[in-house]
Every structure is written in structure tokens, then in C-alpha cells.
Amino acid sequence: MHVSVIGNPDDSVVVALRGNLDLGNGTVLDTTLAQILDRPVPRVVVDLSGVDFCDSTGLSSLIVAHKRAEAAGGWFRLAAPSSWLRGLLDTVGLGIAFTIYPTVADALAG
């Protein structure tokens, strides 16, 4: 998995993921998100357009980050999941728990 972090002038952050979001790569995402979520009032968009696969470890990382951002008064948004990943999120009930946008630009505009 490759993780890119892009900061914006409004202090929001885009985390772009590429590859598989699974047990073998979960630590990379968890570490990256932990650093971002330590900011006061974190505002995070996760770009899922490059995610090829996601297992329960990946879903857990997203859930934990979402809860941390909201607890700090910020937000955590998902953007551009593939139809397969969107189906997975809906199947496990996370499609309604997360705010999901079709594009990163839409998520930033929120």
C-alpha cells in the first residue's frame, strides 16, 4: 500500500490510498491517520479511488479514525470508493455510518 498525505490551506488533509488495505498494510494507515488525528479539530478526506482490496483490518482502521475525528470536533470523510468497495461498505453497514462522496473535491466542499 502507498499512502500520500496532502495538506490544504484550510487545514484539511487528504489521505490518498493506493493498493490493498489489509492486515499486511494496516499499520501504515493507522500510523499515518494517528499523526493527522492528533491535530486540533482534524478534518480528513480519505481518497479511496486507488484501493484495490479492503479487509476487516482496513475497515477497522477507518472506523477508529472516524470516531477519533468526530470526538475531537472534526470530520472524517471518504471519497471515490470503487463500486466494489462501496458495496462492501454498504454490506457491512458502514455506508450510512460514514459520509461518502463521489470525488475528493466534493468531500472537501462537504
Phi-psi region of 61 (alpha: psi -120 to 50; beta: other; left: phi over 0): alpha
Separation CA 87–CA 105 (nearest Å):
22
Confidence of residue 1 (pLDDT cuts 50, 70, 90): confident
Mean pLDDT, residues 88-108: 96
> Three-class SS of residue 79?
strand
Query: What is the model's pLDDT at position 80?
Result: 98
Q: In what order do the strands lie in the sheet with 75-79?
A: 2-7, 13-21, 43-54, 75-79, 99-101
Contacts of residue 85, defined as CB under 8 A and 6 or more positions apart, other chains included, come to 48, 51, 54
Is residue 56 pLDDT above 90, yes or no? yes
Query: What is the model's pLDDT at position 14?
Result: 98
Mean pLDDT, residues 10-27: 92
pTM over 0.85: yes
Contacts of residue 4, defined as CB under 8 A and 6 or more positions apart, other chains included, come to 15, 16, 18
pLDDT in tens, 66-83: 999 999 999 999 999 999
> Three-class SS of residue 2?
strand
List, in order of start, the domains of the chain with CATH numbers.
2-109 (3.30.750.24)
Residue type present at position 36 = I
By mean pLDDT, which of 46-50, 71-75, 92-96 is the weakest? Answer: 92-96
